[in-house]
């Protein structure tokens, strides 16, 4: 059984096979959106698609490496062909490298840059004509608290994530005339990397949680995914070019 808040919307989520991408896809589908799930490992997206179909939602899984423009273009075209259009895009896919800044290599930067900043740009450019054809829509991109705070060892990742925030502000101003809104979420969430950290370093993880005002790391679906629902819905139709800090009061 699904709701109707996002009925009529078709939204593509990248990196949808796990973590925040999965949580976002579930939250969107539960509110009635048709959700396209893209990821490098199609099998993971197919598992999420089955989860969505199990509660009566509509999903379409496809493989896509966002570091390749041709694959992103093909994924968007396949979604439009499958569902008949596109009204929203969630750019979640990204790879991270942890390395002291003095040791960051060109390869580290290239990986984060192509999977994060360039992948986001490719998705936005591919989606633009279809969002315009739909009379407008919403794009949600993801930044990172590690970049906002300047956390040690996240230099390459921070470069890409802050580039995404700048890109999003420019797109919001250029595309607002088409009724296309572009916003960024900076999350603190129980992603697979966060869960792994908690299992390997339980005391440090507990200290991190205690440092948050809400004393807990956000849930990928109920805390982050439902915020995406709000951003793509009419409830926040006057919000664009902004960053939503979902960090639990970090």
Residues 160-170 pLDDT 10s:
999 999 999 99
Q: Which residues are catalytic?
A: 157
Residue 147 neighbours by CB distance under 10 Å: 21
pLDDT (tens digit, 9 = 90+) per residue, 43-67? Answer: 999 999 999 999 999 999 999 999 9
Residue 86: CB partners within 8 Å, gap ≥ 6? 10, 11, 12, 76, 79, 80, 127, 130, 131, 134, 137
Query: For residues 160-182, b (16+ Cβ closer than 10 Å) or e, as one string?
Result: bbbbbbebbbebbeebeebebbb
- Residue 53: helix, strand or coil by DSSP? helix
pLDDT at position 21: 98
Boundaries of every domain in the chain: 10-188+218-246
The tokens of 94 are what? 């990204």
Question: Would you say residue 197 has pLDDT above 80?
Answer: no
Residue 178 has pLDDT above 90, yes or no: yes
User: pLDDT at position 191, please?
Assistant: 86
Dist. CA 233–CA 158, nearest whole Å:
29
Report the 10 Å Cβ neighbour count for 101: 11
Please give the pLDDT value at position 62. Answer: 98
Q: Is the pLDDT of residue 193 over 90?
A: no
Q: For domain 10-188+218-246, which architecture applies?
A: 3-Layer(aba) Sandwich (3.40)
> The pTM is what?
0.96
pLDDT surpasses 90 at 208: no
The answer, yes or no, to whether residue 171 has pLDDT greater than 80, is yes
d(CA 222, CA 22): 11
Helix (H) or strand (E) holding 88: strand 88-91
Does the pLDDT value for residue 1 go beyond 90? no
Q: What's the mean per-residue pLDDT of the chain?
A: 97
């Amino acid at each position: 059984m699904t709701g109707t808040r996002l009925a009529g919307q078709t939204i593509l989520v990248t990196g949808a096979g796990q973590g925040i991408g999965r949580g976002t896809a579930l939250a969107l589908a539960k509110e009635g959106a048709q959700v396209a799930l893209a990821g490098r490992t199609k099998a993971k997206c197919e598992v999420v698609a089955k989860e969505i179909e199990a509660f009566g939602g509509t999903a379409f899984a496809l493989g896509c490496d966002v570091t390749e423009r041709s694959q992103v273009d093909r994924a968007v075209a396949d979604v439009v062909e499958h569902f008949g259009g596109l009204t929203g895009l969630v750019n979640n896919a990204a790879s991270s490298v942890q390395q002291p800044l003095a040791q960051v290599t060109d390869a580290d930067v290239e990986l984060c840059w192509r999977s994060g900043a360039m992948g986001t740009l490719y998705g936005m450019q591919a989606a633009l004509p279809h969002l315009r054809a739909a009379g407008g829509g919403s794009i949600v991109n993801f930044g990172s608290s590690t970049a906002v705070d300047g956390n040690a060892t996240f230099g390459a990742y921070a470069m890409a994530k802050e580039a995404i925030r700048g890109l999003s502000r420019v797109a919001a101003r250029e595309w607002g005339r088409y009724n296309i809104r572009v916003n960024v979420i900076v999350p603190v969430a129980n992603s697979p990397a966060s869960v792994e950290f908690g299992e390997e370093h339980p005391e440090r993880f507990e200290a991190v949680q205690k440092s948050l005002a809400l004393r807990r790391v956000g849930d990928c679906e109920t805390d982050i995914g439902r915020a995406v629902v709000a951003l793509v819905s009419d409830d926040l139709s006057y919000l664009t070019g902004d960053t939503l800090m979902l960090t639990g009061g970090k």
